[in-house]
Structure 1
Amino acid sequence: MGGLLWIISALTAIPMLKLLPHFGINKYWALACVVPIGVPLLAWYMAVKLQELEKL
Structure 2
Amino acid sequence: MGGFWWLVLSALTIIPMIKLLPFFGINKYWAAACLIPFGTIALLWWMGMKLQELEKR
Normalising by structure 2, report the TM-score: 0.85
| Number of matched pairs | 56
1:5 CA displacement: 4.1
1:48 and 2:49 aligned:
yes
**1:34 aligns to what?**
35
Alignment identity in percent? 64
CA RMSD of aligned residues (A): 1.5
Give 1:8 shift: 1.4
Deviation at 1:36, TM superposition (A): 1.3
Gaps of 5+ in 2: none
Q: Which residue matches 2:12?
A: 11
**TM-score, scaled to structure 1:** 0.86
